[in-house]
Amino acid sequence: MSYSADPPSILLSVSRTSRTHDHVVAAGEFGLHLLARDQDDVAAVFASKSDAKFDSVSWEWDRDVPRILGARAFLRCAPAKCVSYADHTIVIASVRDISVDHDVDPLLHYRRAFTWSIQPS
């Protein structure tokens, strides 16, 4: 989620049992992706317990950070502050760079389903 506009920063919570935890916390930089409307299959791969997440996803290196192709937005971030609480680490990260494809609609997760449009009940 957005944390601060000045300086631009985000906040994320990562389970300490997640395989990505140590990589995000110790990284010089990491990538955060806002997936496109048609990338629910990519979201499913990264939500899975697969050991080979990047094998079935189109991606490239953006310097030393993996970048998923076709995403609505890509944020290059650097951890600025990490706080352990319960079984998660809260990471506040500085946004170093951002690119947005304004022609692509974002993927939303609402009521346990991927969707484009959120309709009130």
- pLDDT for res 117: 63
- pLDDT for res 52: 85
- pLDDT for res 110: 80
β-strand pairing of 30-34 with 65-68: unpaired
- pLDDT for res 116: 63
- pLDDT for res 109: 82
Among 15, 54, 4, residue whose Cα is nearest residue 33: 54
CA distance 39 to 49: 18
C-alpha pair distances (Å), 9 with each of 2, 48, 100: 6, 27, 16
Which CATH architecture does the domain made up of 2-115 adopt?
A: Roll (2.30)
Per-residue pLDDT of the chain (121 residues; tens, 9 = 90+): 999 999 999 999 999 998 889 999 998 999 999 999 999 999 999 888 888 888 989 999 999 999 999 999 999 999 999 999 999 999 999 999 999 999 999 998 888 888 766 666 5
- pLDDT for res 7: 94
- pLDDT for res 9: 97
